[in-house]
Every structure is written in C-alpha cells, then in structure tokens.
Amino acid sequence: MPGLEETEISKAIITAYHEKLLDRLQNDVIIVGAGPAGLMGGMRLARQGMKVTIIEKRLSPGGGIWGGGMTMNEAVIQDKALPLLDEIGIRHRPSPEGLHTTDAVELASGLCFRALQSGVVLFNLMTVEDVCVHQKRVTGVVVNRTMVAGALPVDPITLKAKAVVDATGHEAVVIESLRKRRLLADINESVGEGPMDAGAGEDFVAERVAEVFPGLWVSGMSVCAALGGPRMGPIFGGMLLSGVRMAELVSAAVSKTV
Ligand SMILES: Cc1cc2nc3c(=O)[nH]c(=O)nc-3n(C[C@H](O)[C@H](O)[C@H](O)COP(=O)(O)OP(=O)(O)OC[C@H]3O[C@@H](n4cnc5c(N)ncnc54)[C@H](O)[C@@H]3O)c2cc1C
C-alpha cells in the first residue's frame, strides 16, 4: 500500500491498547487465569452484562487444554458437560462410557473466541503478582508484564474489581498469596491436590467452588489445589462446570453490591 506510514501502525496499537487498559482499571470481575474454568466462567458472566477482565500470564490463553493428554491433542468431556460444548459451538464425538472427545485446539480456541465475543477483555502476557486487600476484602489485583514480573526491579500496577477469581490452575497463585500471610482462616496450611481419582475430582472441582475470602472466589483446578481435592487427569468437563458454578456464585454476589 503506497504511502503507508509505519508510525501510524504503531500509533493505532498504542492508542487501542491503552484505551482498553484504562477502561479496565475498574471492573465487575477480574478472573486470574485463562484456562477452561476462567474462560467458561468469564463468558457466562460477560453474557449477563458484567464487566469482566481475564488476566493471563502466558502468550496463549487456553491453559492446559492445548496438549490434551500427554501431548495427544484430544480433550475428553463427560455427558454432564456436553451441553456446554454445544453452547460454545464445539464439535464432539461419542466415546464409550458416557464420554466424548473433542479436538483440544478447537476447544481452546473456541472458548477464547466465545469469551471475547461475549464481551470479556483479556490481557495476555500479564502476570498477577499480588492482590489488594482493603478492610479485610480483596478489592483488586497487582499486575506486571510477564517478562518483567520477578525478573526486573519494576513496580507493578493495580486493577480493581468487585470480585476476583483465582482460576490459575494447579498453582492457585492468588490463594497462595493470602495463605502464606495466614489471611485465610480455613486454609492456612498449604493443602495441595490429592492423588488421582477422576470421578471424585470432577465432582469436587465444580461443587467446591466458593468465596474463600471476602471478594475472592476460586474456580477450576485451583479448587482442588487450595482445598485438597483429588486430581482428575486430562478430562475437562469438570473445569467447564466449575466455571459455570463460579459465574452463578459471583453473579449473585456482584448483583447484590450494585
Ligand atoms: C503441566 C500440566 C499438568 C497437569 N496436571 C494435571 C493433574 O495433575 N491433574 C489434573 O486433574 N489435570 C492436570 N492437567 C490437566 C488440565 O490442564 C487441568 O486440569 C486444567 O487445564 C485446569 O483448568 P483450569 O482452568 O483450572 O486451569 P489451567 O488450564 O491450568 O489454566 C490456568 C491459567 O492460569 C494462568 N496463570 C497462572 N498463574 C497466573 C498468574 N499469576 N497470572 C496470570 N495468569 C496466571 C496459566 O498460565 C494458565 O493459562 C495438567 C495440565 C498441565 C498443562
């Protein structure tokens, strides 16, 4: 294209990104982690008109979906969660014993696409380093560029929300930041996941979604990591159902604060 000015391209990126970031200083909900639980829950909340921001430390959102099981990029979903795949528009195939398989890349990319199309704003390459706590309530997150976090002496910035969700998977990063300061009355000891029990784990991860500290919810594998649930291996239905449950609980709580 003749006459295309390179600095105009740079200006477009800088302007659009900073408008987006400025708009997200205040949120209804901040979800930390763009795995299946965070994306599914974020999509449901955004569809209800909530202002939802997801923060993802890696370049690619989708969490642990992409690699399926042992790098075989097929994801397994049980009967109970199948309507969620249909809701998102993800194709699937039946497998014995009430199981279904879906292409892991289609699941990860479909979840990302639907969440964003529902109104979620997602910042990748951004790491949550800490939370804000005011009067014994989580009121926001402290973030830095992933390339900088923990590597360079650069101060982070802060984004605020009525509700914050730890959906960081096995690491349960946000819970850990409170637990190590002994601020979580019920989970002051680091529990960690139990040994693998797929059935029990799939139930635990959805049923035990909770507000673990005022203003802070836990969803997805973080539930098992923080509360001592069993691991369940490469089956993703429970993660999606956990996101749905989180959206129900967070929506009810945030609606009350309006
Ligand atoms: C290495 C690996 C091991 C696994 N082991 C098990 C297992 O033992 N048991 C089991 O049941 N399943 C396991 N899985 C399967 C499956 O990936 C997870 O169960 C599932 O992906 C968890 O979904 P989630 O939404 O809870 O979190 P995840 O899919 O893990 O997504 C969490 C997201 O949070 C992001 N994140 C983490 N910290 C921060 C931060 N500070 N700031 C911003 N973003 C952050 C991560 O980058 C990630 O994208 C494993 C997957 C992987 C990749």
CA angle 229, 230, 232 (to 5 degrees): 130
Let me know: does 201 contact 230? Beta carbons within 8 Å: yes
Q: Which atom of ligand 1 is nearest to the CA of 221?
A: 26
- Ligand 1 centre distance from Cα of residue 151 (Å): 22
Q: How far apart are the first and last CA of the chain?
A: 50
Let me know: does 138 contact 150? Beta carbons within 8 Å: no
- Type of residue numbered 149: A
Per-residue pLDDT tens digits of the chain, which is 258 residues long: 778 899 999 999 999 999 999 999 999 999 999 999 999 999 999 999 999 999 999 999 999 999 999 999 999 999 999 999 999 999 999 999 999 999 999 999 999 999 999 999 999 999 999 999 999 999 999 999 999 999 999 999 999 999 999 999 999 999 999 998 988 876 756 678 889 999 999 999 999 999 999 999 999 999 999 999 999 888 999 999 999 999 999 999 999 886
Distance CA 251, CA 113 (A): 21
- Ligand 1 centre distance from Cα of residue 171 (Å): 8
- Tell me the per-residue pLDDT of 19-44, one tens digit each, with 9 for 90 and over: 999 999 999 999 999 999 999 999 99
Distance CA 121, CA 115 (A): 8
- Ligand 1 centre distance from Cα of residue 236 (Å): 11
Let me know: does 20 contact 226? Beta carbons within 8 Å: no
What is the structure's pLDDT at 159? 98
Domains along the sequence of the chain with CATH: 26-257 (3.50.50.60)
- Tell me the per-residue pLDDT of 40-60, one tens digit each, with 9 for 90 and over: 999 999 999 999 999 999 999
Question: Which residue's CA is minimally distant from atom 18 of ligand 1?
Answer: 64
Question: Which residue's CA is minimally distant from atom 37 of ligand 1?
Answer: 168
- Type of residue numbered 210: A
